[in-house]
């Protein structure tokens, strides 16, 4: 065995550079690029507002605000326009009975303005942004207010009745939470209308008190709506930031969970993520495979470092694919050695057959790489038996297996033949109905003495000479 360069993971070679590794992880998580793009766009504006219009400096953020707030404010828009239509219809009955305004004028004007407000209510579905809603509301409020001032002034009831009706309009402004810039524009229209109505008012009563009330209502409404809009926009931006932070936390959790699932078997990572901390299990029937690149140390010495890592990356990535195709479990890599097992952590009846088939496929994969690099060969050892498996580590988790089965499989690999899969007698008994093999005879296994081993020739042929097949 030699010493590999880089970090060999369950799916190949990870870059040694931390920044590159982080970008590699990030690109593998769905939604990471979109989240970072949105974060950059928000950070550029920072939620700053224009001093007069109170619009967000960031146009992208403003568009989001218009769309989201438009959907939220649609109910208030409908309440304002619908209530205004109903009140104008009621006014058509009340005004002629409570004021000297002629019934013909009151009814015709009230019905006309009611129809205008009702039309806005009916067409409200097409007003999908806050600016559209508030532009229509400001126009309606200006019309409503000017009509009220005109009726009150020409009917001789501008003091009291007229101002009270205009105050009602300001109340509906709070219901619809009209944006400051639109509230200011409609207030300017109503102030001009009030001044004109006051100058032409034919009555003799003083309008000083009404003017004071009207002015205070205009100023108070504008200040309140400005503060309300500032608060509303601040809350909107804070919600976006909180959502972004929550998404970032979720994304980081997904990254961590994904890496954990990439490093550990699926059932083991699920148990860890569920909160289980001590994971140790006995597995009675497992087949363990060790594979090692023959003469890797001199091979690594004559190749540039990047080619060594690239070689291991390609080869181990292919091994990972072969393991996954057979439903087996990669345990770990140690330098240029590769360890896999079958029947763990989930039991399977044909674990030995799958692992031996994996070994033959790995030999072929190494031969394919050998076409690029002369002399690339594997030694593979396989043994079946019981093992103990568990998770070790607190910060860097690793799933590993221990026991005589692991040791014997490792010895069979180290004392094997290049380009061949050497199996123990226990494994051979489980696979001889599917594979042809040749008995090697008693082999002295360090620490365990002589053991019968077999070299797997290949999948069992349809017809074969019994004399060339191991018993």
pLDDT at 402: 92
- Inter-CA distances, 386 with 85, 305, 307, 383, 445, Å: 84, 39, 38, 10, 18
pLDDT at 18: 38
Mean per-residue pLDDT for 416-431? 94
pLDDT at 458: 92
Residue 428 CB contacts under 8 Å (≥ 6 apart), including other chains: 437, 454, 470
Peptide bond into 170 cis (omega under 30): no
Cα–Cα distance measured from residue 146 to residue 397, given in angstroms and rounded to the nearest whole number: 75
Mean per-residue pLDDT for 82-93? 90
Cα–Cα distance measured from residue 175 to residue 181, given in angstroms and rounded to the nearest whole number: 16
Q: Between residues 246 and 265, which one has the greater pLDDT?
A: 246
Residue 15 has pLDDT above 70, yes or no: no
Mean per-residue pLDDT for 350-365? 95
* pLDDT > 90: percent of the chain: 32
CATH number of 275-468: 3.30.70.1230
Residue 249 has pLDDT above 80, yes or no: yes
Any idea where the domains of the chain sit in the sequence? Answer: 45-242, 275-468
Lookup result for tokens 């097949």 = 469
pLDDT band at 367 (very low <50, low <70, confident <90, very high): confident
pLDDT at 28: 43
Average pLDDT taken over every residue of the chain: 82
Tell me which of 10-19, 122-131, 254-263 is least confident: 10-19
pLDDT at 413: 94
Residue 9 has pLDDT above 70, yes or no: no
Rounded (to 5) percent helix, strand, coil in the chain: 60, 15, 20
Cβ atoms 381, 411 nearer than 8 A: yes
Burial label for 49, CB within 10 Å (0-12, 13-18, 19+), is middle
pLDDT band at 464 (very low <50, low <70, confident <90, very high): very low
pLDDT digits (tens, 9 = 90+) for 250-309: 888 888 777 776 777 777 777 777 776 777 789 999 999 999 998 888 888 888 888 888
pLDDT digits (tens, 9 = 90+) for 53-77: 888 998 889 999 989 888 888 888 8
Mean per-residue pLDDT for 315-338? 92
Mean per-residue pLDDT for 168-183? 79
pLDDT band at 180 (very low <50, low <70, confident <90, very high): confident
Cβ atoms 406, 288 nearer than 8 A: yes
Tell me which of 156-170, 278-292, 445-459 is least confident: 156-170
pLDDT band at 380 (very low <50, low <70, confident <90, very high): very high
pLDDT at 406: 95
Mean per-residue pLDDT for 191-201? 85
Residue 36 has pLDDT above 80, yes or no: no
Mean per-residue pLDDT for 395-400? 78
pLDDT at 444: 86
CA atoms within 13 A on the CB side of 319: 36
Cα–Cα distance measured from residue 112 to residue 88, given in angstroms and rounded to the nearest whole number: 9
pLDDT at 141: 87
């Amino acid at each position: 065995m030699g010493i590999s360069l880089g970090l060999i993971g369950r799916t190949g070679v990870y870059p040694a550079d931390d920044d590159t590794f982080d970008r590699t992880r990030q690109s593998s998580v769905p939604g990471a690029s979109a989240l970072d793009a949105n974060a950059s766009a928000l950070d550029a504006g920072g939620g700053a507002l224009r001093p007069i219009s109170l619009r967000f400096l960031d146009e992208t953020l403003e568009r989001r605000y218009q769309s989201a707030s438009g959907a939220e404010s649609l109910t208030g828009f409908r309440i304002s326009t619908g209530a205004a239509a109903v009140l104008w219809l009621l006014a058509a009955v009340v005004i002629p009975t409570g004021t000297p305004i002629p019934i013909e004028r009151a009814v015709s004007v009230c019905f006309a303005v009611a129809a205008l407000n009702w039309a806005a209510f009916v067409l409200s579905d097409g007003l999908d942004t806050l600016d559209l809603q508030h532009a229509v509301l400001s126009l309606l409020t200006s019309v409503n207010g000017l009509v009220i001032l005109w009726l009150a002034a020409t009917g001789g009831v501008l003091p009291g009745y007229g101002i009270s009706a205009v105050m009602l309009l300001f109340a509906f402004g709070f219901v619809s939470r009209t944006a400051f810039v639109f509230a200011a524009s409609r207030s300017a229209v109503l102030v001009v209308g009030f001044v004109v109505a006051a100058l032409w008012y034919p009555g003799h009563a003083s309008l000083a008190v009404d003017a004071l009330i009207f002015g205070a209502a205009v100023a108070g409404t504008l200040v309140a709506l400005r503060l309300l809009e500032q608060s509303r926009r601040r809350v909107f931006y804070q919600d976006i930031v909180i959502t972004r932070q929550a998404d970032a936390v979720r994304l980081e959790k997904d990254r961590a969970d994904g890496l954990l699932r990439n490093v550990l078997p699926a059932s083991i990572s699920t148990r860890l993520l569920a909160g289980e901390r001590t994971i140790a299990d006995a597995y009675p029937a497992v087949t363990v495979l060790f594979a090692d690149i023959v003469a890797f140390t001199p091979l690594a010495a004559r190749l540039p470092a990047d080619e060594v890592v690239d070689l291991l990356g390609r080869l181990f990535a292919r091994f990972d694919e072969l393991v996954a195709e057979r439903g087996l479990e990669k345990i770990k890599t140690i330098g240029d050695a590769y360890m896999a097992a079958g029947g763990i952590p989930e039991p399977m009846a044909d674990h030995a057959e799958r692992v031996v088939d994996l070994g033959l496929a790995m030999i072929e994969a190494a031969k394919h790489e050998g076409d690029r690099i002369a002399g690339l060969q594997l030694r593979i050892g396989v043994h079946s038996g019981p093992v103990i498996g568990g998770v070790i580590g607190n910060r860097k988790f690793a799933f590993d297996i221990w026991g005589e089965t692991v040791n014997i499989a490792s010895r069979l690999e180290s004392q094997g033949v290049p380009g061949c899969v050497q199996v123990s007698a226990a494994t051979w008994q489980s696979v001889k109905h599917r594979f042809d093999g040749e008995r090697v005879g008693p082999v002295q296994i360090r620490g365990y003495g002589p053991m019968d081993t077999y070299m797997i020739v290949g999948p069992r042929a349809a017809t074969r000479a019994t004399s060339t097949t191991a018993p």
